Chain A
Amino acid sequence: MSVEVAGTVRAKADGPLKLAVPRGALLEGTLDVLDAIGVDTAGLRGGSRALIFPGEEITLVTMRPSDVPTYVEAGAADVGITGKDVLLEQSDRMVYELLDLGYGRCRMVLAGRVGDERLGEAERRLGMMRIATKYPRVAQRHFESTGRQAEVIEVKGSVELAPLSGLADGIVDLVATGRTLEENDLEVREEIVECTARFVANRVAHKLRGGEVDELTAKFREAIER
């Protein structure tokens, strides 16, 4: 099989383009946008536990959103979809961010306990806040860029537990509806950045399979502008 890039045979492509699909919160929106551009998502929607769904033109590879940059950077997936939060946290991953897909909109925020002044107290009296987060680098960068000091504590599970149990004074986390915060007696104190789903590509795939990557980008753009 060979791919024509602008009239000349540049390189022989190895099978269909591999697209990394994020499982979890972004899955539904991703499947919708894939349907909109005519990619068969029936296998994935069927609740199958398979990880790879081969297709004519595109093979879908499913994974955790935070693994997407890893696979795409290495070229194990040619292109992928993941959240801007993941890309910010893994900003040293060399992937090309080609398009803002617009769905999966949520906010990265600093939150503290409702009516609790611990965040301000810690900063004023101890010179430093203790912040629990799954996004240590985003958090660190936010405090550095606003000239404040913070001890960033990385946790893997429910971040909301940290201020409730006294592990931290506040949290940096992703908020969609705000329900989880509310249920845990937490409130937004500062908004850091707004995040949406992004279409990313491997550097080499972007060069050697340029025609296919550009076509896919154009289709996505058309689908989200509809």
Chain B
Amino acid sequence: MIHPIPPGTRDVLPDEMRELRRLHLALIEVFEGRGYGEVATPAIEYDEVLGRGDGRTAGSAYRFFDESGDLLALRSDMTVPIARLAASRYANSEPPLRFCYLANAFRAVRPQRGQMREFAQAGVELIGAPAPQGTAEVVEVLEAALDAVGLDRAVIGLGDADLYRQLLAELGVEGEARDSILERLAMHDLVGLEAELSAQDGISDEQCATCVALSQLRGGREVLDEARTWGGTAVERATARIGETYEALEARGAAERVQIDLGLLRDLGYYSGAILEVYDPALGHVLGGGGRYDGLLKRFGLDLPAAGFALYLERVHIAQMEEESRRGAS
């Protein structure tokens, strides 16, 4: 008899589990080897506590009442629970704090799209180490993790979460129009972006073209110089921040796999400053991401800068398999 499980969830059988276990061990070994202690937190937390970390997206897709009427929620990532943990348990510890995790998180899915409702993430959080060195350390750990699981072709995109928010403020775009433009930027809907920008009062054709072209700048250090020629305080600040991080990476010999990307925009509300995305040529989907969230810990009463990343384990596993068969073929 077949008994169904909800769409977007799945069972793992021994053959896959064996491979996943190897993947887990390889990642945790890298993290622990660099001083990131593994932690676990409950899958269910108080909705009010999780929501404090991420007000904009209002936290979890799954909420329910417990026996005493309190509203609980399933976590949608590990960054917010670890921020909560650090603030509650390590408030008097000498920073920086280094944590790693391997845990399942839960998000809403759209039907018929093969999206996972429950998925595994592996990642690190570095709390109390400011930019640019803190960011560079996190990228270095990420590169070591990718190497350890055989994804030596993977590329890390490095962008800035504040660039467009500040650029639009500079251009005097606010409210709904700003949100709508940011959404088009995140989606890289360049046709819609151009239409919306040119519909704004006080934005010249040239400024509009600059904004569109800016979102397509990606490559090595030279893209920063190119962006700078277009001027403006927002661009100046963002390129300076990215430049500092890139220099710190170069000093560590870790810049080679990093692609500067001025079009990067992550959808989680708590990012500020550097943002990261991970790609592998064997897979059409993003493998993971991260960045800085210097304001997040403060919402839990511990005012420390922080950065981290998370890899989607199922996707890493698929990419690993593709890379293996490619290596086998060549």
Asked if B190 is an interface residue, CB under 8 A from chain A, the answer is: yes
Interface residues on A, range: 20 to 34
Assuming the A-B contacts A8-B220, A10-B259, A210-B218, are A205 and B192 also in contact, with contact meaning beta carbons closer than 8 angstroms in the complex?
Answer: no
Flag the segment in A29-37, A69-77, A149-157 that touches B.
A69-77
Q: Are B153 and A12 in contact (CB under 8 A)?
A: yes
Asked if B13 is an interface residue, CB under 8 A from chain A, the answer is: no
Q: Are A14 and B284 in contact (CB under 8 A)?
A: no
CB contacts under 8 Å to B, within A1-30, are: 5-8, 10-14
List the B residue with the shortest CB-CB distance to A87: B189
**Which 3 A-B residue pairs are closest in the complex by CB-CB distance?**
A75-B284, A6-B219, A96-B188
CB contacts under 8 Å to A, within B113-150, are: 113
Task: Tell me the dominant secondary structure on chain A's binding face.
Answer: mixed
CB distance from A67 to the nearest CB of B (A): 14
Q: Report A's interface with B, CB cutoff 8 A.
A: 5-8, 10-14, 73-76, 92, 94, 96-100, 198, 201-208, 210, 214
Asked if B85 is an interface residue, CB under 8 A from chain A, the answer is: no
- Please tell me the number of chain B residues within 8 Å of chain A, measured between CB atoms: 31
Q: Report B's interface with A, CB cutoff 8 A.
A: 110, 113, 153, 155, 157, 187-192, 216, 218-220, 222-223, 256-257, 259, 261, 277, 279-286, 326
- Distance A60 CA – B52 CA, assembled complex (angstroms): 49
Chain A residue numbers with a CB within 8 Å of B190 are 96-99
Q: Are A206 and B188 in contact (CB under 8 A)?
A: yes
B284's contact among A8, A10, A203, by CB below 8 Å, is which? A203
A5's contact among B259, B282, B326, by CB below 8 Å, is which? B259
Q: Are B113 and A92 in contact (CB under 8 A)?
A: yes
Chain B residue numbers with a CB within 8 Å of A8 are 219-220, 256
Chain A residue numbers with a CB within 8 Å of B279 are 11, 204, 207-208
CB distance from A32 to the nearest CB of B (A): 20
Please give 8 more A-B residue pairs, beta carbons under 8 A apart, in addition to A5-B218, A203-B285, A210-B259.
Answer: A5-B219, A6-B219, A11-B153, A97-B188, A207-B218, A207-B277, A208-B155, A210-B218
CB distance from A102 to the nearest CB of B (A): 11
Q: Are B188 and A75 in contact (CB under 8 A)?
A: no
CB distance from B151 to the nearest CB of A (A): 11
List the B residue with the shortest CB-CB distance to A76: B284
27 pairs, CB–CB < 8 Å, chain A vs chain B: A5-B220, A6-B222, A6-B223, A8-B220, A8-B256, A10-B219, A10-B257, A13-B281, A73-B284, A75-B284, A94-B187, A96-B188, A96-B189, A97-B188, A97-B190, A97-B192, A98-B190, A100-B191, A203-B188, A203-B284, A203-B286, A204-B283, A204-B284, A205-B284, A207-B157, A208-B155, A210-B218
